[in-house]
Amino acid sequence: MTGRGPERSRTYGDEEGTVRCHSHAGELRTRSGDARLIGLLQGMTGLGSVHSVFTRVVNLLTPDGTLIALAARDAGDAPRTLVTEVAAWTGQGLEAGRSVAFANGNIALGRPHPLRPLRLTTAGARPWHPVAPSLAALPPGGFAAAAALVDRLCRTYGPPGGMLGPGPGAGPMETAVAHALDKGRRTLVAGVRAGDGDGIRRGVLGLLGLGPGLTPAGDDFLTGLALLAALPGSRLTGFPPVLRDVLAGHGGRTTALGLATVSEAADGRARSELLDLLRLLAELRPARDLNAPVRKVLAIGHTSGGDTLSGLAAGLRLEEELRGPL
């Protein structure tokens, strides 16, 4: 890193006892971050590692094995995430498996010699609080109307694949996965509708980890449904306890990122794009106001946004059914 002023150094623990991080007066800072994560990092000291590196996100493992993310500056806020000043993470010399030193709100990411560790600080970061709105005040028919709107926009603008079904020219594997996803969805929705814990468990197990990518399509669907169930006043109260139990006993069936995403959603914590969309639904905004927010969600990953919205729409329909006529 370059900057003005005298060079200084700080020392962090590593396998040999120290990782020396030299920097100039200018530091790479975080613009904003999950307030809960910022608080945890303030008291965290020790060695973690780089989990994975992508253009917009670097995933890290903390000393206790928790997965967290460093996002590029154009990314939205999200649980367990710090949004940094970096335009792109590719080309920064970061590699999966490299050591990461944590020291009281500072993070030093190891890089190959002769590159010095890349140092970030949470000092001055804007804390982000993922507050989920209540949809309990929606009028009769409001949940069904919201589900239909989200589903229509998702199918109009979302790419085929995942929970939206196989695209044109899909091969046998993609088609088989799509059928398995549909079966898991139907099993889960029937279980939640009937308040059948065993059915819910079968549905969760049928979806968890199903599909390619760091957040498989089945996990994204569970994320959308779990987020609806976590909202204040939700009638989907039978779903979260079974989901948490399955995640605790079968978390190894999916990826670390998928597990983290679903777990956070079960606590009502999700990406800012999703929470913004829910707030608009709670405010009974007209369809034209939802077009752009839905497309922002659809831009997440390849099919992750659409898969999550599919879970959200399923939850909205279930809310309507379980409330019944008023």
pLDDT per residue over 10-33, tens digit each?
Answer: 333 333 333 333 333 337 889 999
- Which pLDDT score is estimated for 326? 54
Q: Is residue 136 part of a domain?
A: no
Q: Which amino acid is at 211?
A: G
Which residue range(s) make up the domain with 240?
142-323
Same domain as 157, residue 115: no
**Do 57 and 71 form a contact (C-beta atoms < 8 A)?**
yes
Give me 91's structure tokens.
Answer: 């080309």
- Which pLDDT score is estimated for 325? 66
Last residue of a domain, one of 128, 151, 177: 128
Last residue of a domain, one of 81, 96, 128: 128
DSSP category for residue 7 = -
Same domain as 120, residue 244: no
Same domain as 315, residue 284: yes
Distance CA 103, CA 208 (A): 34
What would the pLDDT profile of 149-187 be if each residue is shown by its tens digit?
999 999 999 888 899 988 888 899 999 999 999 999 999
**Do 253 and 208 form a contact (C-beta atoms < 8 A)?**
yes
Q: Is residue 309 part of a domain?
A: yes
Same domain as 155, residue 107: no
- Which pLDDT score is estimated for 19? 33
Same domain as 69, residue 209: no
**Do 120 and 106 form a contact (C-beta atoms < 8 A)?**
yes
Q: Is residue 35 part of a domain?
A: yes
Same domain as 256, residue 118: no
List, in order, residues 6 or more apart from 258 with CB less than 8 Å away: 208, 209, 214, 215, 216, 219
List, in order, residues 6 or more apart from 40 with CB less than 8 Å away: none
List, in order, residues 6 or more apart from 231 with CB less than 8 Å away: 132, 133, 134, 135, 136, 268, 278
Same domain as 313, residue 193: yes
What residues of the chain score a pLDDT lower than 50? 1-26
Same domain as 148, residue 124: no
Same domain as 284, residue 239: yes
Same domain as 190, residue 225: yes
List, in order, residues 6 or more apart from 320 with CB less than 8 Å away: 141, 142, 143, 144, 147
Give the count of domains, the chain: 2
